[in-house]
Amino acid sequence: MPNPIVFATHNNHKLQEVAAKTGNQLQLLSLTDIGCTEDIPETGVTFRENASIKSCYIFNNYKVNCFADDSGLEIEALNNEPGVYSARYAGEHGNHEANIEKVLNNLKGIENRKARFRTVISLIWNGEEHFFEGTVNGTIRHERVGAQGFGYDPIFEPEGYTITFAEMSMEEKNRISHRAIAMEKLIAFLNAL
């Protein structure tokens, strides 16, 4: 397994999830570890474009093997909103409560609560870019339940479960989450090198 690798994020929740998922398989470095304090603009219109923008920025400026993800919630009845705007759906970036409130308001009176979380990872390894994707289907609850996780976790119930992501331990969520699925593909790719 090649080491080390930079995960291009300033989001500590994402970092903890990925570190828990990879265990000792990867020597994971954060943007802070390489001295990157810039907020890399996500100007793409797809998860793939945003993930690529971030990983290319880090590779081009720091010359390190790295990966970046872009993830979001896609709700069928809302034309797959919030999608790439998941983190800033209600306007302010990272205001989880306001984002959840907007989703719940937009779904008032709508029976179809089908949704999915999607992650696309862009890995740049030795100058070559590779993509890995993970998806988990589920439904949107009518109210928040649970205190774990982050983002939309309190209103997302994954298919086959009767609890939300926010009611799961990190270990449970890491077995089935969109990011976990994409990371498993990335780890398998690196293990095959």
Please give the helix or strand (H or E) that residue 7 lies within, else none: strand 5-7
Q: Does the annotation mark 70 as catalytic?
A: yes
Catalytic residue among 33, 39, 69, 70: 70
DSSP structure class, residue 150: S
Contact in structure between 45 and 23 (CB atoms under 8 Å): no
Residue type present at position 12: N
**Vertex 71: Cα angle to 113 and 117 (nearest 5):** 25
* Peptide linkage before 4 cis (omega within 30 of 0): yes
Q: Across the strands, what pairs with 139?
A: 114, 157
Q: Kindly state the tokens that stand for 153.
A: 């976790």
Q: Which residue blocks in the chain are alpha helix, DSSP H?
A: 12-22, 47-62, 96-106, 170-176, 178-191
Contact in structure between 70 and 123 (CB atoms under 8 Å): no
List the catalytic residues.
70
